Amino acid sequence: MSTPTSTDQHDVRVNDREQLIYLLTEAAEIEHGLMCAYLYALWSLRQSLDEAVTPAQLEAIGRWRKEIRSVAMEEMAHLATVNNLLMSIGSPPHFRRQNFPVPAGYHPASVVVRLAPLTRDTLAHFVYLERPEGMEMAQARGFESPADYRRRPYATRLTPTAEDFDTVGHLYRGIQQGFETLSGRLGETALFAGSPDAQLGRDIMDLPGLVAVTDLRSAIQAIEVIIEQGEGGRRDAEESHFARFVAMAAEYDAFLRDDPAFMPHRSIVSDPLMFAPIGDMPGTYIDAPATARVLDLANASYGLMLRLLASGSGIAQGSTAGRRAEIDSAVSLMHVVHALSVLLTTLPAGAAPTPCAGMNFHLPRSSLALPQREAGTALLAERANEIALALEALAASQPGLDPALAATLRTVAAALLEPAASR
């Protein structure tokens, strides 16, 4: 564990199962939010020499794209692993999160999660978010918390309560302490009351580092994997997210020294909004009509993807074949979301040609309301066909929109209905 510095090193306390579930749901939302932030930066990157970059710069940008994609995939594995931790103690999985931009107070002041292109400041922010526990570091410029606040409760309460933590590793240290404390107090059998069949294993979701959780040993292993891969890791491992972003920042700086005008990202907005903001709410409203339609399709596809992930998780949801069909369908939708999100970075956000737009991962309040199990696959397939129909209609008039994306949605709908028919 890192040697404490002047950063806040208080213990995150867990006194009961409800508080442990609360902390795990916040961990799930942070992993989810970081995954979205990394993907947004990845999609912003320039892709050809026609975009005012040199061959050497484009080669580096290509490597950065692969690195960020790898980190984002590990964030997805972390999200799945946190849900395994939740389900191991009897909770349902948690795929919800706040819409962007996340309001102040929802996470600690040290955890600011925003959508921005890969500027040098954005990369500094990624380094800050992934810093090892106990490391002093200033917030990146432009990513400062709008207010200085503490979420630490003044007394132990039965009602689950927000805790402050300086880094994500600090949060996981508290979660691990909670598992150890409650395992000793309740006994492992009582604590790990969830069905082992509900776990997301490699037979259901093939993600690197995914850990199924059924007891204290596997719970600690799962937490250690998340921490060491880079969520404010306890050690500065060479392959941690922190180390990889630091190396990327050093290369970015070298390009800036040679060419102060170096800009690896497209001219896109930060904090895009699907709906007009109210008052002084931060963000940029995407109101160019054709762009707004593409953003709508991207968000609808993303919403269905999350619903499929949630449906394929949780308490033993039917046969392994059915769950795998839902998870595989979610993976197929990730490719649709990727294609639409890259297209958005080429389309105007408003009346002017630039800046361009970006995906904002909007989640309506009903997005994860799962259908009844008997009707589930039919309703999910129905939604896939609705999105396919809208894609086909827009592809006829929107340059750059691949009509093959609609075929992917049709394939998803058919794959969802096939296991249901065989049961």
Q: Does domain 268-422 have CATH number 1.20.1260?
A: yes
Residue 133: predicted pLDDT: 84
Determine which helix (DSSP H) or strand (DSSP E) holds 273, and give its type and residue range. strand 272-273
Sign of CA dihedral 310, 311, 314, 319: negative
Both tokens of 371, joined, read 């259908």
Residue 47: predicted pLDDT: 96
Give 217-222 contacts, CB < 8 A, sequence gap 24+: 218/88, 219/85, 219/88, 219/176, 219/179, 219/192, 220/176, 220/179, 220/180, 222/81, 222/84, 222/85
Q: Is the CB of residue 243 less than 8 Å from the CB of residue 237?
A: yes
Residue 315: predicted pLDDT: 56
Residue 9: predicted pLDDT: 58
- In the chain, the N- to C-terminal Cα span, in Å, equals 50
Helix (H/G/I), strand (E/B), else coil: 285: strand
Residue 5: predicted pLDDT: 35
Residue 231: predicted pLDDT: 52
- How does pLDDT run along the chain (423 residues), one tens digit per residue? 333 333 555 778 888 999 999 999 999 999 999 999 999 999 999 999 999 999 999 999 999 999 999 999 999 999 999 999 999 999 999 999 999 989 888 999 889 999 999 999 999 999 999 998 888 899 999 998 877 788 776 666 788 888 888 889 999 999 999 999 999 999 999 999 999 988 988 888 888 889 999 999 999 999 999 998 875 455 557 789 999 999 999 999 999 999 999 999 999 999 999 999 888 888 999 999 999 999 999 999 999 999 999 988 865 455 677 888 899 999 999 999 999 999 999 999 999 999 999 999 999 988 888 777 778 889 999 999 999 999 999 999 999 999 999 999 999 999 998 865 555
Domain borders along the chain are: 12-266, 268-422
Q: What is the DSSP string of 26-82?
A: HHHHHHHHHHHHHHHHHHTB--SGGGT--HHHHHHHHHHHHHHHHHHHHHHHHHHHH
Q: pTM to 2 decimals?
A: 0.93
Residue 312: predicted pLDDT: 87
Buried b (16+ CB within 10 A) or exposed e, 218-243: bbbebbebbbbbbbbbbeebeebbbb
Residue 178: predicted pLDDT: 96
Residue 148: predicted pLDDT: 76
Domain 12-266 maps to which CATH number in 1.10.10.10, 3.30.590.10, 1.20.1260.10, 1.10.3720.10?
1.20.1260.10
Residue 6: predicted pLDDT: 39
